[in-house]
Structures are given as structure tokens and as C-alpha cells.
């Protein structure tokens, strides 16, 4: 599907993509894999990562990343992170919004015209970390449409949590039509088990069946969790096998690694009220209505209106799961590893 969209872009009919999926589902890995495929086909690709920042800082950083990546002055490949490296220097200048947009437009024009490459593909990972992702996407859309009118074909690919468009409201339909969504889901039970056992076949190490089952259940089918849990279990193998005893110790090391690499960052970007509300949601394994969560939050001194707003933001960013049940919905934390992390927070 993604290859076909770039092929249409090469033919002068740009198609843009929003790659949506939960945390640890493999979005970043897929973008990196796709970049290698496109570069092998002769396309020029910019792969960047977003960070919590304002819309203008994001656009300024993206302009710097595109200019550096497509300027021809680099002797080695760099994955420039938006908000860091060149981007942070650009952002700190606090340039007027119009100047930021002009610089990004110019960088994209130069990148698309450089050499004999078929097209320019700009990938932005975790775009929903930007303070106002809807505004940022609308600006990318406007710039792309302006360039298309001058026969410049650029394809944007952004990745985010499944709630990206749900938080945009008024601009929802135009953005969904422009950034056509592709959703990644978790692996089913049998597929997740095969992802563990198949790589083991040539190693001389085997996991007990109940260990495989436990890894599958703990991961929820998320490839990143599968990789981490299985890696530390493999490292703990004794005499060529991994039993529940070995896995118990390996799990703590795997959990510590995932907490440091993913959960600590998720926790740090939450407002104090959001931290309290997400902890209330995680305190129960079953989904609860917003009314029940509001009542529990009142005992912590949080007003119902503030709880409702926090639930909306947490669901939009993928920290909690919202189940459709009327207009108010029900909420839970399905991610067992993240729920355990929340239970350990003071």
C-alpha cells in the first residue's frame, strides 16, 4: 500500500499517509525499513522524529532537517531528530511564523529538485508529540498543496497514536482525506508465538511453552515488547532452556529496560492531573465509565470537568484506551506492562 502511494507520487499525483498505531507496535521500525526500500529505488527520503514543542518550533526544526538531509553536504547518512541537532538551533531563533513556513517551503523545493531523484518523501515519526499536532499537519498540508500547484511532488508520511485525528475536531475530515490513514495492529496470539519461537529454531535455545504463552500475554502482541521480553529471556537461558524460573528474573530486567526507554518519557510529558487520572484508570483491570472514574478522582480532589478533559487528552495520545459506549465511553489501560509501571508510581 505504501509503495503504491509513492509510485503515484512519482507520477505527479502525491499521496500522503498517516501511519497510526499504539506504542511499541512497530511504527518507527516500519518507517526505517520503508526508507531503506525507497532509497534503494532511487528516491530521496528525510526521516525525522518529533518532540514535545510548539508548532512553529516543529516547522523550523523540520526545515533544518530537510535542508541538512537534502543539501548534499553530508558525507554520511544522519537521522536528524526534529527538536535536536540542526533543528534546535533553528527553533531557538524564534522566527516569525511566516518566515518559518517560507524556509520549510524553500527547503522542500530544493530537496525535490536536487539531482535526478524520483521524488522526495518526508517522514515524521511521533508527530502527535507536537503541542498542537492538528495545526502542524494543516500547515504541512497547505505547503504541500502550494508546491503541488508548481508541479513539485512531495509525499509526507507521519506516524502517531490511533487518536491523532480524533483530537482535531474541525479539521478532522480535510486532514483524514489528505493524510490517508494506515493502521498497524498487534500480532494475533499464534503470530506472536511464532515471532518468538521461529528465531529460536537455529539457536539451540528453547522456551518452555508456558514461557512463550506468558510473553505473548504480557506483550499484548506488540512487537517491541515481544522483542524485549524474548531477548532478556534468551539471555537468561540455562542449559539451553528457559523455564518460568529463569523468565521471572529475566522479566524484571526487561521491564526495567522498557520502563526507561518508553514509560518514563510517557509519564514525564503528562500534566499532574493527567498523571492522577491515568493512575485511577490503571488501578482497575476492567474498563470503567467516565462517571465512575470521575467519582474516584473526586476523592483525590480533582473536579469532574478536569477529569473529563484529562481522559480525552490521555485517550487521544494513546496512554489509555477508550471503548465506545454511548457518548461518554469507557476507559481502561490494556497495556499490562504500562499498567504495572503506573502501579509503581507514587
The whole-angstrom separation of Cα 147 and Cα 332 is 43
pLDDT tens-digit profile of 33-53?
A: 999 999 888 888 899 988 888
As averages over each run of 10 residues, the pLDDT of the chain (346 residues) reads: 87 90 89 91 88 88 84 44 44 58 86 68 91 89 88 89 76 85 92 94 93 96 94 91 94 96 90 95 92 94 94 87 75 94 90
pLDDT tens-digit profile of 189-234?
A: 999 999 999 999 989 899 999 999 999 999 999 999 999 999 999 9
Beta strands in 29-148 (DSSP E): 44-49, 120-125
Rg of the chain over all Cα atoms, to the nearest angstrom: 22
In this prediction, residue 303 carries a pLDDT of 95
Which one-letter DSSP state was computed for residue 260? Answer: I
Q: What mean pLDDT, rounded, does the chain reach?
A: 85
In this prediction, residue 309 carries a pLDDT of 92
Which phi and psi (to 5°) does residue 118 adopt?
-65, -45
**Looking at the whole model, is its pTM more than 0.85?**
no
Amino acid at each position: 500500500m505504501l509503495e503504491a502511494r509513492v509510485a503515484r507520487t512519482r507520477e505527479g499525483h502525491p499521496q500522503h499517509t498517516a501511519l497510526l498505531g499504539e506504542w511499541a507496535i512497530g511504527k518507527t521500525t516500519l518507517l526505517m525499513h520503508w526508507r531503506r526500500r525507497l532509497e534503494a529505488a532511487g528516491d530521496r527520503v528525510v526521516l525525522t522524529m518529533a518532540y514535545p514543542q510548539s508548532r512553529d518550533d516543529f516547522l523550523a526544526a523540520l526545515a533544518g532537517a530537510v535542508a541538512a538531509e537534502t543539501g548534499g553536504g553530508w558525507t554520511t547518512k544522519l537521522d536528524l531528530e526534529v527538536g535536536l541537532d540542526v533543528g534546535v538551533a533553528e527553533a531557538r531563533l524564534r522566527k516569525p511564523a511566516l518566515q518559518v513556513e517560507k524556509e520549510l517551503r524553500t527547503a522542500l523545493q530544493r530537496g525535490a529538485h536536487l539531482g535526478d531523484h524520483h521524488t522526495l518523501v518526508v517522514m515524521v515519526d511521533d508527530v502527535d508529540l507536537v503541542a498542537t499536532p492538528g495545526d502542524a499537519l494543516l500547515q504541512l498540508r497547505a505547503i504541500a498543496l502550494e508546491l503541488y500547484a508548481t508541479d513539485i511532488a512531495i509525499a509526507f508520511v507521519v506516524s502517531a497514536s490511533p487518536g491523532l485525528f480524533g483530537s482535531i475536531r474541525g479539521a478532522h475530515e480535510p486532514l483524514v482525506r489528505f493524510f490517508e490513514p494506515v493502521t498497524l495492529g498487534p500480532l494475533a496470539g499464534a503470530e506472536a508465538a511464532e515471532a518468538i519461537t521461529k528465531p529460536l529454531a537455529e539457536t539451540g535455545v528453547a522456551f518452555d511453552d508456558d514461557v512463550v504463552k506468558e510473553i505473548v500475554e504480557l506483550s499484548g502482541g506488540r512487537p517491541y515488547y515481544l522483542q524485549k521480553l524474548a531477548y532478556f529471556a534468551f539471555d537468561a537461558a540455562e542449559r539451553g532452556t528457559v523455564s518460568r524460573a529463569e523468565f521471572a528474573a529475566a522479566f524484571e530486567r526487561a521491564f526495567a529496560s522498557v520502563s526507561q526507554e518508553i514509560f518514563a518519557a510517557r509519564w514525564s510529558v503528562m500534566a499532574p492531573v493527567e498523571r492522577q487520572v491515568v493512575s485511577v484508570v490503571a488501578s482497575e483491570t476492567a474498563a470503567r465509565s467516565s462517571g465512575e472514574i470521575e467519582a474516584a478522582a473526586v476523592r483525590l480532589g480533582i473536579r469532574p470537568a478536569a477529569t473529563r478533559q484529562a481522559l480525552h487528552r490521555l485517550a487521544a495520545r494513546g496512554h489509555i484506551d477508550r471503548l465506545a459506549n454511548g457518548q461518554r465511553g469507557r476507559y481502561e489501560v490494556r497495556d499490562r506492562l504500562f499498567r504495572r509501571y503506573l502501579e509503581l508510581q507514587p
